[in-house]
Structure 1
Amino acid sequence: AREARAARERMDALHAALADGPVTDVVSVGIGGSDLGPRLAVDALRDFHDGRFRVHFLTNMDGSAAQHLLQRLDPARTAGILVSKSFGTQETLLNGGILRDWLGGSDRLFAVSANTGRAEAFGIAPARVLPMWDWVGGRYSLWSAVGFALQLAIGRKAFAQLLDGAALMDRHVREAPVAHNLAAWHGLFAVWNRNALGAATQAVLPYDERLALLPSYLQQLVMESLGKSVRADGSPVPVSTVPVLWGGAGTNVQHSFFQALHQGTDPVPADFIGVIRPAHGHEENHRALMANLLAQAEALANGAVHEDPHRHHAGGRPSTLMLLDELTPASLGALLAMYEHSVYVQAVLWGINAFDQWGVELGKKIAGELLPAMSGQSQPSDPITRALVAEIRARR
């Protein structure tokens, strides 16, 4: 707790120093858990931005992302935050190098990392490095200094409200009996859908455009945490574990994949999320939005009998509907914390470790071995990869 309070104080001090200067735009450079949580929250809480900073995100190592973002900004009025626990993440260092060169140096670069030495070697002074501890997994790190970009967007008070909302859910999960425990019920439903009903996928369907990035955030939280086939003790898991999680914002998605949800051969459990009181005054739009939200959940559950088999809807397709009174920093914090706790419930029931990701590490390792091959300095050992590298190099 003392370390966390000290980190918050340093965040506040750096925030104040930036606010006193000429910077108007901040580029947050990270990937995975160093990007998805802050990006979601900055977008979801756009109605709470205090207007002092415009926050942008740079994640993919594809150089076109950096090119298109930086051409819209002024280097004299831009700062950057590099977020990487190890400060060895390839995507972050590549994009950070582009940003550093574009800024003309590292004086307006900040870092969030557990490796101060590497950040300093990159040119970022220790005074501008916020801590990220080894015991904080990236996909669970929004509440830490990884949320610095979010704090710059919404201000210190609103960021504190986000943390308060998460803490409220933490207390609920810790103290409420299972029969009244939101995260326990959510986790139990998820395991039931996967193992009893055999559902191989799970849809997340927020009926609020501000939550459009929630499915992407939850893809990492859920699938990276629960995508395991062995238990924590190394023995095989005897049942199926994580489903493929996907989704999008309603009502847009009603016109893309909802046909398959209603009449496809494989039932897809769904989480519907709605917001009762919007942050706009377009009441007719919101009434229609909420009517569509409720209608879709009802249609999946009840179906519709019709003598024409093409118009028959079997129903019996499971969904969970969650309603927020409003989308605020506190309610978003509570919602995301509930999903975190649900993941832990599922991990306990399956006996797996929700806090490693060796599958991700394998891909990184092979990519590192292949990088010299892309410039002709070595030959891949795998024959198919070797042929593909040769084809790529021949076409450059």
Structure 2
Amino acid sequence: MKHLSELPAWRQLWPHYEEMKSVHMRDLFAQDPDRARRYWLEVGGLTLDYAKNRITGQTLNGLFELARESGLPEKMRAMFAGEKINNTENRAALHIALRNRADTPIYVDGENVMPKVNSVLRHMGQFSHAVRNGDWTGYTGQAITDIVNIGIGGSDQGPLMMCTALQTYGHPRLNMHFVSNVDGTQLRDVLEQVRPETTLFIIASKTFTTQETLTNAHTARDWFLRAGREEDIAKHFVAVSTNKEAVSAFGIDTVNMFEFWNWVGGRYSLWSAIGLPIMIYLGEENFIEMLEGAHLMDQHFINAPFEQNMPVLLGMIGIWYINYLGGGSHVIAPYDQHLHHLPRFIQQLDMESNGKQTACDGTPVGTDTGPIIWGETGINGQHAFFQLLHQGTHITPIDLIASLEKRSNLPGHHEILLSNVFAQAEAFMRGKTAEEVRMELQAQGMDGEKIEKLVPHKTFSGNRPTNILLLDKIDPRNMGSLIALYEHKVFVQGVVWGINSFDQWGVELGKQLAKTILAELTGEIPPQPHDASTERLIRLYRRANCEVDGTCDIL
């Protein structure tokens, strides 16, 4: 395979970069009255305004050619055909099959996966109906009031994000809780809020061996057994897993095990049985609407020409900033409080997928790859880190995400919110010149000497890029489209960089080392050789806790 830096289109974009690096977006708008209309795209209930980017038609044409030379069209077709594009694990990456509402056959190893996908969906639907309508009861015969999802990574973040985003669609009797951190305080805080007789635990672990998840699950089980009996576990614990033996050994009836497959990556899994808490909370109909929205984006992605393809546009504009303009991070700023988990979700999706230094062929990539993804709700961000975005020394592209629909009946709130979205995008683009600052301060009656001292501090360079993503409303269909959009954007960039976006070997090393260190911390094994810093940290912990553990005599 050819690396990115070896492609003709890569080299041809560098002279264009030299032309563009000093061009200001103010001038691009002034020179092209039609710019706002041309750099505008609508897909379903999503509208993308990408006019406030440091691009021209020549930039986009060069980026599209780079995508073609990178093999993006072929890779897109390969993913949708079920080919094993996850080459390091010899797996397909078929999250698109989970929301294949057309039910067209998709084959993996010669088997059409759609019958199994649909069977699990039906199983989820039947169980969700039973919980929601009160037919599924706890050991005292009372209806379930609290759902506790115990998982980590993709088994936690997707359901947490979606249930929070769509809480206005949630069942009024059900309270949703999510536990991922092995720090016992999170689980303790949740258990203090719920009652054993009306709580349902969903244990989400593909292998049913994940240390953090199983530690929390066993603690929850012990808590439950202080009130209920062993035979009652089946009424209060269900599993999302593929390991029937381990699920059964835990005490969960395998009839209540919801399956998914190795071609579903964790960060792409909310569409699968991992989405069970979403379906229980929102209902089967709304879950299907979410799948429909994602399928709509899938079809747009595979069929639309690059010039009108929303994931391709976002992905390739991102390549422009990361690999040419030096933008090493990217901000997600949703202007809706119910979307406050979205930045963290996209952070995992992007950074776990494309935080790679090795190409698919095992050689060094040779260029920058995945950016640092970070963010916060937009209004809070304005009073926290937007200072750096406006006047800092870094080029940091920003996605401003908002809903056109008013989400509350409180007068004036939504107009204030949206005015900030539009104003921030304009301010990032236009900035404020020294002359504009002088005129403003003169109008305030400030004397000349003070003005000149303040001018450098109150000047904004502008030329800071933003994408504005507007949802008609925050509903299951549009949220499905939005998440699928970001999934495909990440895929586009991974293909261009020549990396595998569907493995995550980087999470393994620390977990392996932690097993040995855990045994040292508990005194199960004698101190092992580490670097001097790690050895000192272990000794400090042992000394601080030896009286509690009864191990002071062996230190």
Q: What aligned pairs does 1:342-361 form with structure 2 within 5 A after superposition?
A: 342-361=489-508
Shift of 1:375: 1.1
Q: Answer whether contact 1:7 1:145 (CA < 8 A) is retained.
A: yes
Q: What aligned pairs does 1:291-306 form with structure 2 within 5 A after superposition?
A: 291-306=419-434
Aligned to 1:332: 479
Q: 2:282 aligns with which of 131, 141, 154?
A: 154
Aligned to 1:362: 509
Counterpart CA distance in 2 for 1:16 and 1:229 is 46
Q: What aligned pairs does 1:195-274 form with structure 2 within 5 A after superposition?
A: 195-274=323-402
Shift of 1:267: 2.0
Q: 2:260 aligns with which of 132, 136, 142?
A: 132
Q: 1:164 aligns with which of 266, 273, 292?
A: 292
| Bigger mean CA deviation after superposition, 213-222 or 10-19 | 10-19
Q: Does 1:43 align with 2:164?
A: yes
Q: 2:205 aligns with which of 66, 84, 105?
A: 84
Aligned to 2:49: none
Secondary structure at the aligned position of 2:374 is classed as strand
Q: Answer whether contact 1:278 1:327 (CA < 8 A) is retained.
A: no
Q: What aligned pairs does 1:50-65 form with structure 2 within 5 A after superposition?
A: 50-65=171-186
Shift of 1:376: 1.7
Shift of 1:63: 0.4
Counterpart CA distance in 2 for 1:190 and 1:369 is 40
Aligned to 2:529: 381
User: Taking structure 1 as the reference length, what is the TM-score of the superposition?
Assistant: 0.98
Aligned to 1:393: 542
Q: Does 1:70 align with 2:217?
A: no
Counterpart CA distance in 2 for 1:269 and 1:15 is 40
Q: Answer whether contact 1:34 1:84 (CA < 8 A) is retained.
A: yes
Counterpart CA distance in 1 for 2:150 and 2:392 is 40
Counterpart CA distance in 1 for 2:421 and 2:250 is 49
Q: What aligned pairs does 1:21-40 form with structure 2 within 5 A after superposition?
A: 21=137, 22-40=143-161
Q: Which has the larger radius of gyration?
A: 2
Secondary structure at the aligned position of 1:395 is classed as helix
Aligned to 1:311: 458
Q: Answer whether contact 2:149 2:178 (CA < 8 A) is retained.
A: yes
Q: Does 1:341 align with 2:341?
A: no
Q: What aligned pairs does 1:173-212 form with structure 2 within 5 A after superposition?
A: 173-212=301-340
Aligned to 1:282: 410
Q: Answer whether contact 1:187 1:345 (CA < 8 A) is retained.
A: yes
What amino acid maps onto 1:376 in structure 2?
G
Q: Answer whether contact 1:38 1:146 (CA < 8 A) is retained.
A: yes
Moved beyond 4 Å, runs of 4+ = none
Q: 1:15 aligns with which of 113, 117, 128?
A: 128
Counterpart CA distance in 1 for 2:346 and 2:468 is 16
Secondary structure at the aligned position of 1:91 is classed as helix
Shift of 1:113: 0.8
Shift of 1:283: 4.0
Q: Answer whether contact 1:52 1:153 (CA < 8 A) is retained.
A: no
Secondary structure at the aligned position of 1:205 is classed as strand
Alpha-carbon deviations, 1:174-214, whole Å to 9, x = none? 11111100000011011111001111111000111111110
Aligned to 1:4: 117
Q: Answer whether contact 1:183 1:345 (CA < 8 A) is retained.
A: yes
Q: Answer whether contact 1:80 1:110 (CA < 8 A) is retained.
A: yes
Q: Which has the higher contact order (CA 8 A, sep 6+)?
A: 2
Alpha-carbon deviations, 1:111-151, whole Å to 9, x = none? 10122222122221211110021110000000001000011
Aligned to 1:113: 241
Alpha-carbon deviations, 1:257-313, whole Å to 9, x = none? 111110011121101111101221224110111010011111111100125100010
Secondary structure at the aligned position of 1:152 is classed as helix
Q: Answer whether contact 2:120 2:258 (CA < 8 A) is retained.
A: yes
Q: Answer whether contact 2:150 2:203 (CA < 8 A) is retained.
A: yes
What amino acid maps onto 1:58 in structure 2?
V
Q: Answer whether contact 2:402 2:471 (CA < 8 A) is retained.
A: yes
Q: Does 1:101 align with 2:222?
A: yes
Q: Alignment identity in percent? A: 41
Structure 1's unaligned 5+ residue stretches are none
Q: Answer whether contact 1:26 1:80 (CA < 8 A) is retained.
A: yes
What amino acid maps onto 2:130 in structure 1?
A
Q: Answer whether contact 2:306 2:313 (CA < 8 A) is retained.
A: yes
Q: Answer whether contact 2:378 2:400 (CA < 8 A) is retained.
A: no
| Bigger mean CA deviation after superposition, 46-55 or 287-296 | 46-55
What amino acid maps onto 2:517 in structure 1?
L
Q: Answer whether contact 1:270 1:318 (CA < 8 A) is retained.
A: yes
Counterpart CA distance in 2 for 1:15 and 1:47 is 18
Secondary structure at the aligned position of 2:283 is classed as helix
What amino acid maps onto 1:392 in structure 2?
Y
Counterpart CA distance in 2 for 1:336 and 1:110 is 26
Shift of 1:250: 1.7
Shift of 1:2: 0.6
Q: Answer whether contact 1:114 1:134 (CA < 8 A) is retained.
A: no
Aligned to 2:44: none
Counterpart CA distance in 2 for 1:131 and 1:252 is 39
User: Taking structure 2 as the reference length, what is the TM-score of the superposition?
Assistant: 0.70
Structure 2's unaligned 5+ residue stretches are 1-113, 138-142, 439-454, 546-555
Q: Answer whether contact 2:290 2:480 (CA < 8 A) is retained.
A: yes
